Amino acid sequence: MLPLDRLPPTYPRASRSSWNKFWHVSIPHPARTILWRLYHSKLPTRSRLQRIMPRYIIDEGCMMCGAIETDEHFLWSCPVKRPIWDTLAQRFLEQPSILSFDQINRPFQTTVKTLSH
């Protein structure tokens, strides 16, 4: 195990109790897994896969819209997926207009209030 000072800058720095809370948040496990992958730069974006397997992934473009598929594009900014986020925010958040990729990508730093259902 690497000491904390040798972790890559992209590695999310959070206490053990923060990670414990993260894994016990009342959201479906697949959603938590996707967020964990995002926080650790492990999402299978075409941009990342193309760097890892250039012989198999020739194009780093999104399969849905053709833009370069980064983490942000993969989860948030793809024009095909964006309406889904807007619908979910309207349905589940008290202030849907404040939801942003930055909030999703900053674990343990922001709190988004959900509606009680």
Reported residue count of the chain is 117
* pTM tops 0.95, yes or no: no
**pLDDT given at position 87:** 87
CA distances from 36 to 19, 28, 72, 83, 111 (A): 10, 13, 14, 23, 17
Residue 75 has pLDDT above 80, yes or no: yes
Cα separation values, 58 from 44, 45, 52, Å: 14, 13, 11
Percent pLDDT > 90 in the chain is 32
- Where do the domains of the chain lie? 26-117
pLDDT at residue number 92: 76
The two structure tokens encoding residue 115: 């509606």
